[in-house]
Structure 1
């Protein structure tokens, strides 16, 4: 099986993979597909189990680190018990551990693979604050459940968590050290929420979180993290408090269940605010046998009234015909009428400046995920390209694209694309949640790219902060099919 790059993860040569994966079991049974940045005592891999034909997450833990953090007898056995203790059912929010085995000087933890995205990938799309709350909520509930049964899950690094295709956080790389505590897990939940709100990581970490796509969080003079709502005023104060209070283990937010309860209250309040203030009253039609519902006016009087109305209408028609046939210019009448009902002229288009772009590929690993921003960097000399495929996009994949985000809602009218690969079929669509299927989007416009710049009319039904540029057909290139986008521009209604 050929190794393939994972979003935000550098691909490795076979020599590199051998260096990172000691032991014959790993070398012979698992094909390593991509490594994720993490602390120096553990390696996190996306791998393929060649015996069972399934993808897995593979954690290679330094056994010397286990002995350093747990000086009691038999630290390896204790680590195995702690890690497998997370493996009971949590509605899929904690990856199931398949196997733990000593491999040379490391312990290999094999668990189910979570298709989806890194925390950093989702944070770059700038999710709405309530969406961030929804992403974290179920993992917080799973954590509370684990704590109830005496287990701990070690939320100490952003790459240990992945965002599944159904848009929820999952502990993807289980590995629980002896000195981890339930309080550490609560702080990790706060850090995860903080990262999704601001795109920075607030916990001290022995691993390079910048390599994981999340720079360190900003801090005040006293060393405390800056509350999210101070950085982005659109973040609700209550949600900001949940993140910071969990991080700092404040009274009232010291358990995972307290985090669940706080998020549930916020989400319930949001649903209540979005519900209509009142339900429209149903019109009750009178039943034929309901005498009280029948009009009391006698039919002759009603008929007389109708006759008067008809007569007046006929007279009005005659009068209007006479005036129209008079010396008054018909064009003047038409112009005066149109001036009252004609729509206002369209404003001149205004350039819209994107804030970020992230690869969207729900049926496949994101193509060249680390280069997505080059398509919207206002520099046509740089580009984002799809992977090179031996044939046209297969039905199982369907397409690949970019979710482009804007700092504020925009009224999109036109998209222009500069590309060195003419023949690429591009669709402009409403942007789904990053984990949703392409069938949940709405087509706004489409074109086959010509040499140079191609303009696509694509008016959004309502102001939006995100749009999907979807490639449904690749261009033929040497020894395969591939498409490149040098620059994507956006024009909207003027203000």
Structure 2
């Protein structure tokens, strides 16, 4: 912490706690301003700080957030003023704890956190008539107000990921030093001229924990992506995030379709407590944010390849330019190979179509074999030589059980093509339900996703047949008590991996119930492309 010398008199400035040696420095002289109004032009801190503009109120701590002018050192500062009655012993005790934590944080140095300069308390920089219990003085952060920024429009997902990633690094370093920053109020943060998130008004609440900082990162990501605040007790200047009937936060992707599934899931899993697959560490947040930012950069590069090379000025101070892609022999070689494969495939398709047309016009109806009586189930035409016989219909008592309805089951909220869920039970293998495309395999990003079917009454199912074109998809068959259960409350009765166009999964024991969940635990694909589809689900006794 900066113990600062008075540049005009050479005397020591008023500091509630000296972070270097723990002593209480001598209180500087100055006219005591009683009942100083909290309005622009008012003065606090025994007349040293003149208030310039208010940037918010953290109602939880009675903390008023102001920009002020230090009259002694002639510079702007950020004031977190704990307003309250000095006679209220409980409030005074809470304020003392906040000031102690702020003083401790004064030793922390990171670009993502404004440096604490002074911590003033009653009798040490604050007179009893000022109506305050303490003031945390920090260096002023130039830039933009976060609330104003998100109120205009949500931030582009790639930029939001980069902004939260920078702040996450600050949180990780602070936690390694045993410090809680107290990020869980959006008016305490600002955007620097470089576009970085910064904690501008330090002063963590007495009860704030490391987990609260992590949840705050999820809340800030949600705010940047949607313009809405998903944590409790947010400022009135920002709308609260909507919630589902079960009380869960609606994923950002449901509010803004352009939000990538990875970022949407990350925000929700970081905010919500408990449950399977929650994110509780900064390291996990950074991994997902880095992947999302890289994916966004690749997408942006593809979009700009065809753009003109002329510079385009934006509304800010900078000029963004695009340049011609570098000459890359390896890239050209890959492109040539890809085009060759496409041409060969096209020629093959055309040849096949030609053969089919010739076969159609050369067929002789009289040579089609004996007539078949479709009313007589015993009169079946034998398959041509070399072909396997057609599958026999289910025996009596083995008819498939028809589901009344099906919907996407996602503990993280909505998503993964809910409008196409009915394709999985419509009897038409040509219509499919697909998961979202993920850059990371389950359960790294989320525990899974699935389809939960509801029957008109309790049924008995002995095996489940899945038509799918995405081999490598791993599924579990679960029985649930209702159509929106907690995953931990469902019972696993079978599992398997999709290996071909049609896969049957025999259950350990016949399952009885009204709700059956096909839960995908592993997606098809590899690298950073993971996606699965289900064309049809058949429930067999």
Report which of the two structures shows the higher radius of gyration computed on alpha carbons. Answer: 2
In proportion to residue count, which structure has more helix?
Answer: 1
TM-score by length of 2: 0.45
1 or 2 for the larger relative contact order (CA 8 Å, sep ≥6)?
1
**TM-score, length basis structure 1:** 0.49
